[in-house]
Each structure stands twice: as structure tokens, then as C-alpha cells.
Chains A and B, each alone.
Chain A
Amino acid sequence: MKPYLSIENLTQRFPDGKGGELTVFENATFGVEKGEFVVILGHSGCGKSTIMNILAGLAEPTSGAVVMDGQEVKGPSLDRGVVFQNYSLLPWLSTLKNVTFGVAARHPEWTKAEVIAHSTKYLAMVGLEGDVIHRKPSQLSGGMRQRVSIARAFANHPKLLLLDEPFGALDALTRGTIQDELLKIWGGTEQTVFMITHDIDEAILLADRILLMTNGPFARVAESVEITIPRPRSRTEIIEHPNYYAIRNHLVQFLGKRSKELSGQPMDSGATNRPAPIRIDKTEPTPDPEDLRPGLRAVVNS
């Protein structure tokens, strides 16, 4: 049984400018289930954004395939909504028109009133109501702009929502508020989300599963870490959860140390590069609750 979104042997090589080739990643293979919120974490240059662009259909992989809901991804589509880091709102349109632009493209058969009603509803869901929605993006703060972008993406009910470091350009406080809003709006839907971030805490707060990438070149999606913290989550409560620091420490260790150690190794030709599933759960009785690392290794090796 294939997962809802299946990334199969994805390889991306670029010419390195000296007549040779630079392999960004090779034979990356992983899946995302329907309704799942998956976050990919890794250092700059490991090819996260390239994977994102391939999933969006904005870029072509050197080889390999992306299959969603039984169909191969070829080119961009309304089924895959994208929230870009720089918001990508059209600056000559008002906030409302930026959303109706997307909704009208999704539902060409709707009347103008239906499109406006639907768009207004989604803008209200991210806290934008009243006069604000008639302002131009340049008159909004960065956080508000990203809210508009999120509303535009959610309003279209894409089969897959791609978030490319959506909070990267925001200050920490604004980021927190919008993360909460994203959780709220996501909680009410069965939306499948694939998101890129640099922020470990953000990843733990939002994700069902975190994919960890090693550094490039020859980057790999090395691990798939399940976030064993029940939902609904809030940023103040999850840090009290016994699994929080265990997971966090694991992620920090990976990004700080092992992402380097594992990098730069070409694979055997044809070998499929699948992430190792990791499950850290301190609430389950473990044979040796005093020491996490041995228990962790046992899971990795299994």
C-alpha cells in the first residue's frame, strides 16, 4: 500500500560550473499520509527547497517521481497549494482580492458573491476582518501578509499544502501567534501539510512527523521522527510534556552533529534512501528508563 503522497527515488543534480555535476540529493524516498502534518528540517543547502519546488511542480527532478493520490506530479496544480516564504502576494491587489484571485481560479463556476463570501470566511479564520481586508499588502505588517497567504492557500482546499519556511521572515513573537493560528485553522481540516523550517521548536509544535535531512551534497532524508505529543498542542503546555525535551535533544543532536557526519557520502548505485523511523516516547514503560540513548539505538537498528 503506497502512502498518499509518495516520493520515489528522487535525485537532483546541477551542473557545478566546472564541467562536473553536483548531486544535491540522491534516491530520496519517503511518504506522507493523508491528513498528516510533516515537517522537514535541515541545514541550508541540503536541498529542502528543491524538494519543495519539485512537490509544487515548479521544478523538475533529475530523476525519480512524485506520486500523489495515485497520480504522478507533473507541473504545478491547484491540488498543491504553496505558501512561499516571502508571502508572494500580488501587491497591486487588495488583501481580499489576493484571496479571491485564488478562489476564483479554483472554482471558476462560482458567482462573484460566492467567491467573496468564501474568501472573507477564510480571512476571518486567520483573524483578518473588517477594513483590513481592503488594504493593499504594502499596508500590512509581515505577519498579516503571511496570514493572507495562509488564508489564500487554505481557502483552495488543496490536496497537499506546501509551506516553504512560512515564518522565516517574521519576528519570534509574531511567529508564535501565527503558528497558533495555523494550528487552529489546520485542526479543523483534514489538510495534508508538508512544511520546511529551520526552527526546531516550531517543528515539534506543528508536526506529526519530522523528516531530518543531512547536509549536502549527497544529502539524505536520514530519519523520520514521530512527535509523540498528543494534540491539541499549545506552546506553553508541550514543554511540560515528558517527550518534549527527549525529542528536542534528539533533533538538536542530529542537526548539530550527525547531519555533518552523515553528509557527503555517495550511495551505492540504485540503493533506495529511506529515512529510518524513530519513535521516542518516555510515557511508555521502557526497559531502561534511566538512559534514553541505548533505547533509541535499538529502535534505529530495528
Chain B
Amino acid sequence: MTGLSLNKRAAILSFILLIAGLLIWEAAIPAQKAVGELTEYEILTGAGVPKAGVPPPSEVLVKAWEQLSNPFYDAGPNDKGIGIQIGYSIYRVLTGYALAAFVAIPLGFLIGMSPVAYKALNPFIQVLRPISPLAWMPLALFIIQDSEASAIFVIFICSIWPMLINTAFGVAGVRADWVNVARTHELNPLKTAFTVILPAAAPTIVTGMRISIGIAWLVIVAAEMLVGGTGIGYYVWNEWNNLDLTSVIFSILMIGVVGMLLDALFGLLQRRVAYVE
């Protein structure tokens, strides 16, 4: 084993853990009795009808194969492919998130640059930040009158705070020396903001963006369960109503995978803007 690199050993261990977990899960599911083994009484009382239970991983894998081999089919409002459902969710997350970034980053700059703005806006931020984004839902539905836009609003409101706070914190923490370099080179305020303050604060800002996208992805599932219609959150809830636990488990896994990919994307961005002092 010592000949293998750390990564290879970790990969082998991961694989063993996965197989072991799946085997335990498979073995833990009680097998359904075949109809022929039942007594007449049992058949009469309906025991012959397959009981809903937690499906074994083998069934989930079959389901996953079936769904992923045709992810974009559309057979009416309650039967759309997993790709379409995830597409809707990503569209909502990215729209709300982009709007939030559009507001939070400039506003964060302002707050970070001006101690007065920081002190003036801080109480509002502190009160608004801990509100669960779903608590806004009734108000959003009433005011916006559109479930699609309300879901986007909920994403907007939940992703704005980490970006706002991190931008303000990053901008306020830019070293005075670097700002002095900009001043002694007679850079105008706009140029200073873009060539010195933005790159200096970028790692902190991107960290805020990464936290925000994580929260937005958590919240979209809950929001879609409420507003319904489309999206991965709606899909989970719909399959629960259908008592199709195989699909529920499959979609839970898909939520995890997409969340991981979104996070990895920002991890990549984070590495790009990082610098060593």
C-alpha cells in the first residue's frame, strides 16, 4: 500500500466505503414475500399488493439509469425529465443570485469604503439577515402575484447577505499601503476601485459568493416545494405524493451532485482570484 500516492489510497478507501454502505443498505431492506407464499386470508386483506417501503440501492440505480438516459423528456405537467426539473431550478437560482450579486457587490463596496454608510446600514443588515428566506414567501406571493418570480425573489433575498457582508468586509480590510500606492500614482477613484480594491478584496468577495450559492441551492428546494409547478424541489415533493421513494432518493442524490458542482465552480473562481501576500 505504501507505494500508492495519498490520493490513490483515499480513492480506494472511498470506493470501499461506498460499496460497504450500499451492501448494508441492500441487505437491510426486507424482501417482499411473493404472492404464492401468502395465506388466503393475507391475500384477502390486501397483503398481496406491494407495500411501499424504502427501496434498495439496486432499484435506485435502475431508476437513475432510466432517468439519466432520457433526462429531457416532457410528458405533461407532472411528468418531466430530471434534466428539465434541474434546469428550472438552476435557472431560478442563477437569476435570483445574479440579481443579488448585482445589488450586493456595489452596495458592499459603498459600505466598505464609507464608515458612515457602514454604521448607518448595519442595523438593517443585522435585522434582515437572520430572517429565513421562506418567511418572505407569503409576502412575496402577495406583492409579486407570481409564483415563479416569488421563488426568484426568495433566492435573491437569501443570497444577498453573505455577498454584501463579505464585500463590505473585504473592501474595508484592503491594506492602507495598497490604497496609498494607488494614491501616489494618481489613480482616479474608479480606477482605484477596479485595479486595486477589487483584486485586493476579491478573495473575500468570492468567499461570500460561494457561501451565497450554497445557501441559494439549499433554499430553492424548499421554495419549489411551496410554489410547485416545476423544479427539482417540486419533483421531490411530487414523487413523495406519488409514494415513489425510488425517485425521491434519486432526486435527493441529484440535488447533492448539482450543489457540489455549483460549489466546485466557485472553488475554481476562488483559486483564480487568490493571492499570497
Contacts and interface: CB of A to CB of B under 8 A. Distances in A.
A77 interface: yes
Interface size range on A against B: 20 to 34
17 contacts: A56-B180, A57-B183, A58-B183, A81-B184, A84-B177, A84-B180, A84-B181, A88-B177, A88-B178, A88-B181, A90-B181, A90-B199, A91-B277, A101-B195, A105-B186, A105-B187, A106-B185
Contacts of B202: 92
Interface of A: 56-58, 75-78, 80-82, 84, 86, 88, 90-93, 101-102, 105-106, 136, 138
Interface string B169-186: 000000001101101111
Residues of A contacting B: mostly: loop
Contacts of A56: 180, 184
Contact of B196 (A57, A77, A78, A90): A90
B22 to A, nearest CB: 45
B277 to A, nearest CB: 5
Contacts of A92: 199-200, 202, 273, 275
Q: Which of A81, A90, A136, A138 has the most CB of B within 10 A?
A: A90
B115 to A, nearest CB: 18
Interface in B176-230: 177-178, 180-181, 183-187, 195-196, 199-200, 202
A136 to B, nearest CB: 7
Indicate the member of B184, B195, B199 with the most A CB atoms within 10 Å. Answer: B184
Given A88-B178, A90-B178, A82 B277 contact: no
A77, A78, A84, A105 interface centre (most CB from chain B within 10 Å): A105
Contact of B275 (A84, A86, A138): A138
B183 A76 contact: yes
Nearest to B183: A76
Q: Is the interface of B mostly helix, strand, loop or mixed?
A: helix
B174 to A, nearest CB: 11
Contacts of B276: 91, 136, 138
Contacts of B200: 90, 92
Nearest to A85: B177
A105 B184 CA distance: 10
Contact of B185 (A58, A78, A136): A78
A126 B98 CA distance: 46
Contacts of A77: 184, 186
A96 B180 CA distance: 19
B184 A58 contact: yes
A68 B186 CA distance: 17
Contacts of B273: 92
Contacts of A93: 199
